[in-house]
Structure 1
Amino acid sequence: MRELRPLTPDRVTDLVGGCAPCTFWQTVPHNGHSGPREPLDLLAEWVETVTSEWGSPGRVAYVDEQPAGHVLLAPARYVPRLAAFPTSPSDPSTLMLVTVMTTPEQAGIRKTLVQTAAKDALAHRARSLEAVGARPLAVSRHACVLDVPFLEKVGFRVERDHPAYPRMRIDLRTVVTLRDEVAEALSRALARVPGVHPAPAPHPNGTSRASVADARPERPLSR
């Protein structure tokens, strides 16, 4: 069974990947070395801070109750490492897809994790989701920086180009539009099936047209 749970401070021990626990995005370089604090403590503090001020900064995927992957997202102001990239966004409120990691056996759920991040971004009323991607020209690329081909495969497009580290962007309004178009197409298909009636379209006040009609008083029978 697969389940995606919000990232909480007590779940940072379930983060997976070749460099987990990793604080690459949550820190800035200190003369080429990591800070003196324990990565798990720093990660837990980061998750707690982002959660209290913005919301849970990601999801952890479990398959049969075992950690299988995770996705991190947060506004740019909570991602200090972005300042080290030439394509760092100037707006601190820009919502960033920080990283996506899975165990080798569950690599197929990477797309699902990105889709979940997009849904969480929509819940925050974000219009877009961005990420710094890495091309083959990237020197000493860190494992937590996502590949450009992968980002393009899941719908991201170049927002600010760079030979090594372009900033990628996906328009979440397009995601909503595609979802609505699929729903309409399904409704039209069901309407052509004898004996099947699609659900009524919602009324602007939030009720269905059918329920509005049912609420009208019945006309008296003519004598």
Structure 2
Amino acid sequence: MPGPRTRELLPLTPERVGDLVGSCAPCTFWQTVPHNGHGRPTDPLELLAAWVEQVTADWGPPGRVAYVDGRAVGHVVVAPARHVPRLAAFPTSPSDPATLMLVTAVTGDPAGAVDGAGRGGKALRKVLVQAAAKEALNHRVRALDVVAARPLAVHRHACVLEAHLLEDAGFHVERDHPTYPRLRIDLRTLVTIRDEAAEAVRRALAKVPGVRPVPETHPNGSSHA
């Protein structure tokens, strides 16, 4: 019987650019804009490494790479809009260059490689989006935006996330569009929901005979159940 798997979610660094996964990796779609109708003749790995280094110096590591047993199985990229040139090509691009964008979340995980039950890709994608939200909270950002694609976007690039998947994850339409709406998730709401859920559990446990709720410690050091 195989032993437990090692799972890691590590910061995206220039050295880890070669571990990015997906059908078009290494991809520079979001990091570039068309130049006279053609892409610039730059090595994708070199360009991505330079982009990651630039964003890290200005803002911080622009994402995370997920590993299982040392093998990359997915990644998420998040960065301020000022570092995402391709946004200018979309009609719902944010006007504020400081807007934090979920650039993409890609899984290259074969079925079952993450949870052993054929749900690997879906579970991993959720973890990646949660990692992007956590990254935003670490920077004290109130919301996370993403330009997504609806079914009418017939030539959708693989790195543009599907709107319905994000809506299922709690994103809502911030600026609508038939093909490429911009969605947003309010991170303050996420924190509020988490805190309210924890309080509801404490209240429910308090009503169960013989169950003592976990003491709650206050900043002054005092505790009460």
TM exceeding 0.5? yes
Bigger shift: 17-26 or 135-144? 135-144
Residue from 15, 19, 22 that aligns with 2:20? 15
Bigger shift: 190-199 or 37-46? 190-199
SS at match of 1:143: coil
Aligned pairs for 1:91-106 (under 5 A) are 91-105=96-110, 106=120
SS at match of 2:148: strand
Q: Cα deviations across residues 152-186 of structure 1 (Å, max 9, x unaligned)?
A: 01111111011110000111111000110122122
Q: Is the 8 A contact 1:200 1:208 kept in 2?
A: no
Q: Is the 8 A contact 1:191 1:198 kept in 2?
A: no
Once residues 220 and 56 of structure 2 are traced to their aligned partners in structure 1, the CA distance between those partners, rounded to angstroms, is 33
Aligned pairs for 1:21-32 (under 5 A) are 21-32=26-37
Residue from 79, 83, 86 that aligns with 2:88? 83
Question: Radius of gyration: which is bigger?
Answer: 1
Partner of 1:134: 149
Residue from 210, 213, 216 that aligns with 2:223? 210
Q: Is the 8 A contact 2:173 2:184 kept in 1?
A: yes
Partner of 1:219: none
Once residues 195 and 165 of structure 1 are traced to their aligned partners in structure 2, the CA distance between those partners, rounded to angstroms, is 51
Residue from 118, 121, 124 that aligns with 1:107? 121
- Which residue identity is paired with 2:121? A
5+ residue gaps, structure 1, are 212-223
Displacement of 1:195 in angstroms is 5.1
Q: Is the 8 A contact 2:74 2:109 kept in 1?
A: no
- Answering whether residue 193 of structure 2 is matched by residue 178 of structure 1, we say yes
Displacement of 1:64 in angstroms is 1.6
Partner of 1:45: 50
Partner of 2:216: 200
Residue from 135, 145, 158 that aligns with 1:143? 158
Q: Is the 8 A contact 1:76 1:94 kept in 2?
A: yes
Displacement of 1:62 in angstroms is 0.6
Structure 1 residues 208 and 161, CA gap change in structure 2 (3 angstroms)? same
Once residues 129 and 69 of structure 1 are traced to their aligned partners in structure 2, the CA distance between those partners, rounded to angstroms, is 20
- Answering whether residue 101 of structure 2 is matched by residue 120 of structure 1, we say no
Structure 1 residues 56 and 207, CA gap change in structure 2 (3 angstroms)? farther
Partner of 1:190: 205
Once residues 103 and 207 of structure 1 are traced to their aligned partners in structure 2, the CA distance between those partners, rounded to angstroms, is 48
Displacement of 1:189 in angstroms is 3.2
Once residues 13 and 2 of structure 1 are traced to their aligned partners in structure 2, the CA distance between those partners, rounded to angstroms, is 18
Structure 1 residues 86 and 195, CA gap change in structure 2 (3 angstroms)? closer
Once residues 80 and 43 of structure 1 are traced to their aligned partners in structure 2, the CA distance between those partners, rounded to angstroms, is 13
SS at match of 2:35: coil
Identical columns (%): 65
